């Protein structure tokens, strides 16, 4: 039997969830909810589904198997809790919630109810990130020394409640944790309110892992959109562009030369070998949604504690 799907919140991100579900043939997209009916009526596509202004009415009436929750962060906890308590599997946009306690409660509740809760850290489903993880795990750049991430651009007017750390930097915190298979031992943050006085619009994270240092820059100030990550290892260097799903690998080309004047040796470097890594481009959101549907259909365990880890790094240090 096809899984019955609903979407709660059809603003910027929710409209994309709606579109992607409509493109999947072996599910039933049956309903959508938003307090603003105009958003539904103005969508680019015509959807033959039920509309509800109240998400509670939707989840009570529609017998849903899966719901995507794409409401502002401040409402994540209550909306997700209401869905899970009614036996619905939840794909929840990041961040998981706006507090550590409520995030822990949601994870525990989903576990108690034996339901799937996936927090939508979408970059985990970016094909370039998966390829980069493979490059690192295969030892192509050797032992990692440092990581630099930049996620900057103009202010998004649809973000009404989150600061730039929770909205943007959390992506790269999560991805660095994922790539290194560890959590930072030290965290330092420089946060500023440059153009928006109510909340931080520029932030820099300085993270120390066991043998790796990481720097993350995120802001809503830079007039151009940049989504890049670079990693230096003792055998090479790699650059990844999240948006273009492009990876450039530079493998170090050096030799050790013994010297008479020193007991040790010197390194002689020559031009590095550059390779543009081929990545099969795919839409990360569609990959994420297909993965979640598969987990529900095949009863595959989902562990979203990674979302809690990233939230803790921000809220415990900001």
In a domain, 196, yes or no: yes
Let me know: does 140 contact 272? Beta carbons within 8 Å.
no
- Does one domain contain both 276 and 289? no
186-192 and 144-152: which strand pairing?
unpaired
pLDDT of residue 162: 82
Average pLDDT over residues 117-139: 97
Distance CA(203)–CA(312), nearest Å, equals 16
DSSP assignment of 114-168 equals T--EEEE-GGGG-HHHHHHHHHHHTTTT-SEEEEEEEEE-S--TT--S--HIIII
CATH of the domain at 85: 3.40.50.720
Residue 83 clears pLDDT 80, i.e. is over it:
yes
> What was the pLDDT predicted at 40?
85
Q: What is the pLDDT of residues 60-71, one digit of tens each?
A: 999 999 999 999
Question: 79 and 19 share a domain?
Answer: yes
| Domain assignment of residue 105, yes or no | yes
Residues 159 and 273 in one domain: yes
- Per residue in 247-305, pLDDT (tens digit) is 999 988 766 566 556 556 556 666 778 899 989 999 999 999 999 999 999 999 999 99
- Give the pLDDT confidence score for residue 265 in this predicted structure: 54
Provide the pLDDT confidence category of residue 198 given band limits of 50, 70 and 90: confident
Residue 133 placed within a domain: yes
Asked if 98 and 192 sit in the same domain, the reply is no
**Owning domain of residue 112:** 3-121+285-300
| 193 part of a folded domain | yes
* Residue 158 and residue 290 in one domain: no
Share of the chain above pLDDT 70, in %: 94
Asked if the structure places residue 315 within a domain, the reply is no
Average pLDDT over residues 115-142: 97
pLDDT for 195 equals: 87
Q: Are 273 and 143 within one domain?
A: yes
Residue 141 lies in a domain: yes
- The reply to whether 313 falls in a domain is no
User: Residue 200 belongs to a domain with what CATH number?
Assistant: 3.30.360.10
Regarding whether 111 and 16 lie in a shared domain, the answer is: yes
Tokens of 34: 């938003």
> Same domain for 24 and 61?
yes
> What pLDDT score was predicted for residue 257?
60
Asked, for residue 312, whether it belongs to a domain, the answer is: no
Inter-residue contact 70 to 32 (CB < 8 Å): no
């Amino acid at each position: 039997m096809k899984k019955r799907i609903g979407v709660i919140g059809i603003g910027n991100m929710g409209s994309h969830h709606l579109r992607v579900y409509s493109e999947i043939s072996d599910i039933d997209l049956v309903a959508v909810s938003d307090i603003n009916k105009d958003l539904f009526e103005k969508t680019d596509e015509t959807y033959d589904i039920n509309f509800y202004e109240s998400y509670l009415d939707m989840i009570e009436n529609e017998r849903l198997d899966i719901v995507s929750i794409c409401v502002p962060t401040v409402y994540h906890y209550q909306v997700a809790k209401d869905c899970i308590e009614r036996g619905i599997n939840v794909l929840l946009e990041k961040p998981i919630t706006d507090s550590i306690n409520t995030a822990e409660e949601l994870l525990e509740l989903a576990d108690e109810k034996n339901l799937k809760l996936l927090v939508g850290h979408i970059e985990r489903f970016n094909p370039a990130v998966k390829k980069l993880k493979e490059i690192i795990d295969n030892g192509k750049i050797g032992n990692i020394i440092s990581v630099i991430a930049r996620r900057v651009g103009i202010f998004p007017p649809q973000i009404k409640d989150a600061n730039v750390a929770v909205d943007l930097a959390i992506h790269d915190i999560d991805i660095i944790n994922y790539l290194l298979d560890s959590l930072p031992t030290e965290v330092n943050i420089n946060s500023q309110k440059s153009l928006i006085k109510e909340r931080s619009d520029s932030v820099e994270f300085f993270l120390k892992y066991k043998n790796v240092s990481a720097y993350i820059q995120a802001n809503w100030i830079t007039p151009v959109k940049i989504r890049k990550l670079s990693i230096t290892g003792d055998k090479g260097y790699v650059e990844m562009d999240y948006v273009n799903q492009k990876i450039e690998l530079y493998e170090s080309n050096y030799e050790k030369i013994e010297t008479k004047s020193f007991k040790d040796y010197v390194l002689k470097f020559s031009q590095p070998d550059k390779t543009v890594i081929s990545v099969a481009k795919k839409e990360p959101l569609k990959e994420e949604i297909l993965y979640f549907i598969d987990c529900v259909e095949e009863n595959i365990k989902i562990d979203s504690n990674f979302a809690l880890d990233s939230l803790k790094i921000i809220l415990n240090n900001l």
